[in-house]
């Protein structure tokens, strides 16, 4: 067993394990640690606890010290410094007419390194820009190109649901999302309705996907023949979220009745050879939807 603490940097992101050095560090504290990027101040989201050795990747780095009020003042000063660096870097990018969009500037806690995050449609030759920035800021400079999802995660915003974007609010990382998920959940394939601020498929499509997959396996396929208390009929539609099946029943007097039944109220007689939801992506999807899939 090892005693660890869980630390996160910035507002969102992954939680990293560090050796607590046998100190009892409480949830919500701040700690100074050394990372691959340099010395950083992070927030403790998991207080000191013991975990099995199988759950950690050895060797764990230890903490340098618990953050003091002076450290938090230094962090606040660094944030102001980042804002000024952002403005100056934008001016230099504009003067060199580079096809890139600056997203954020981050300093390490000791201000020995500055990372400039940017987006671009292609490759950018920023070698001369790095020289300009190094001369201006007197620190190690790193320019890092990120994707549109990471841009929204850093900047934040309100999603189509009216709530803050999941990626900037609580998600530690991105999960794979596909157009098949939207199809299985019965959503419109209109790109404007299933895309987030980043222009890619919404992360929340992943949340209920497991329920839809498991429920669809238990439900009859569209056009399957089923037996109900009102007689035999053919499945017209299914609602995996409510676990209801809509059945078309042929009554004895040649009348047709359409009713909804729960899973317990029907029994499959003959399985349809044609499934409503195919695993393959339709060939007739427009180019905009295809671009969402490829991403």
For the four alpha carbons of 182, 183, 186 and 190, in that order, the dihedral sign comes to positive
Answer for the pair 259, 249: CB distance below 8 angstroms, yes or no: yes
In this structure, is residue 155 part of a structural domain? no
In this structure, is residue 291 part of a structural domain? no
pLDDT of the residue at 294: 47
Q: Please tell me whether residues 101 and 83 are part of one structural domain.
A: yes
In this structure, is residue 109 part of a structural domain? yes
124: CATH: 3.30.300
- Residue 236 sits at φ, ψ, to 5 deg, of -95, -35
In this structure, is residue 90 part of a structural domain? yes
Q: Please tell me whether residues 57 and 77 are part of one structural domain.
A: no
Written as tens digits, the pLDDT of the chain (295 aa) is 788 889 998 877 788 899 887 788 888 889 999 988 889 999 999 888 888 878 787 788 888 999 999 999 999 999 999 999 999 999 999 999 999 999 999 999 999 999 999 999 888 889 899 999 998 988 899 999 999 999 999 998 998 889 999 998 888 888 899 999 998 888 888 888 999 999 999 999 999 899 999 998 888 888 889 988 888 889 999 999 888 999 998 887 778 889 999 988 888 887 765 554 444 444 444 455 555 544 4
Q: Please tell me whether residues 78 and 45 are part of one structural domain.
A: no
In this structure, is residue 179 part of a structural domain? no
Q: Please tell me whether residues 7 and 50 are part of one structural domain.
A: yes
In this structure, is residue 175 part of a structural domain? no
d(CA 116, CA 264): 58
Answer for the pair 29, 18: CB distance below 8 angstroms, yes or no: no
Of 50, 67, 84, which one is at a domain's C-terminal end?
A: 67
Question: Which residues lie below 8 Å from residue 232, measured CB to CB, with a gap of 6+?
Answer: 225, 226, 249, 250, 269
pLDDT of the residue at 273: 56
pLDDT of the residue at 280: 44
In this structure, is residue 48 part of a structural domain? yes
In this structure, is residue 237 part of a structural domain? yes
Q: Which domain holds residue 109?
A: 73-146
pLDDT of the residue at 151: 93
CA-wise closest residue to 3 among 21, 15, 29: 21
Residue with tokens 């660890």: 4
Q: Please tell me whether residues 83 and 49 are part of one structural domain.
A: no
If one counts the domains in the chain, the total is 3
d(CA 119, CA 227): 57
Residue with tokens 């400079």: 141
Of 11, 41, 67, which one is at a domain's C-terminal end?
A: 67
Prediction pTM value: 0.76
User: What is the token pair recorded at 268?
Assistant: 């499959």
- Residue 74 sits at φ, ψ, to 5 deg, of -65, -40
Q: Please tell me whether residues 142 and 123 are part of one structural domain.
A: yes
């Amino acid at each position: 067993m090892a005693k660890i603490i869980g630390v996160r940097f910035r507002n969102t992101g992954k939680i990293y394990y560090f050796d607590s050095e046998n100190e009892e560090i409480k949830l919500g504290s701040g700690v100074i640690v050394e990372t691959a990027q340099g010395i950083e101040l992070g927030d403790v989201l998991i207080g000191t606890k013991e975990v099995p050795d199988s759950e950690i990747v050895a060797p764990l780095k230890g903490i340098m010290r618990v953050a003091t009020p002076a450290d938090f003042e230094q962090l606040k000063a660094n944030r102001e410094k980042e804002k000024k660096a952002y403005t100056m870097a934008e001016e230099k990018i504009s003067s060199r007419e580079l096809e890139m969009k600056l997203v954020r500037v981050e300093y390490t806690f000791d201000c020995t390194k500055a990372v400039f995050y940017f987006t671009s449609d292609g490759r950018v030759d920023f070698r001369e820009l790095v020289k300009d920035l190094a001369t201006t800021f007197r620190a190690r400079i790193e320019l890092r190109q990120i994707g549109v999802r990471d841009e929204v995660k850093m900047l934040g915003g309100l999603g189509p649901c009216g709530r803050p974007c999941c990626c900037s609010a609580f998600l530690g990382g991105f999960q794979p999302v596909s157009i098949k998920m939207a199809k299985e959940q019965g959503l419109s394939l209109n790109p404007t309705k299933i895309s987030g601020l980043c222009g890619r498929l919404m992360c929340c499509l992943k949340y209920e996907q497991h329920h839809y997959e498991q429920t669809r396996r238990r439900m009859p396929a569209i056009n399957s023949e089923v037996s109900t208390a009102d007689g035999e009929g053919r499945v017209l539609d299914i609602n995996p979220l409510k676990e209801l099946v809509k059945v078309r029943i042929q009554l004895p007097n040649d009348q047709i009745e359409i009713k909804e039944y729960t899973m317990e109220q029907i029994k499959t007689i003959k399985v349809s050879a044609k499934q409503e939801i195919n695993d393959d992506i339709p060939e007739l999807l427009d180019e905009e939807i295809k671009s969402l899939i490829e991403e």
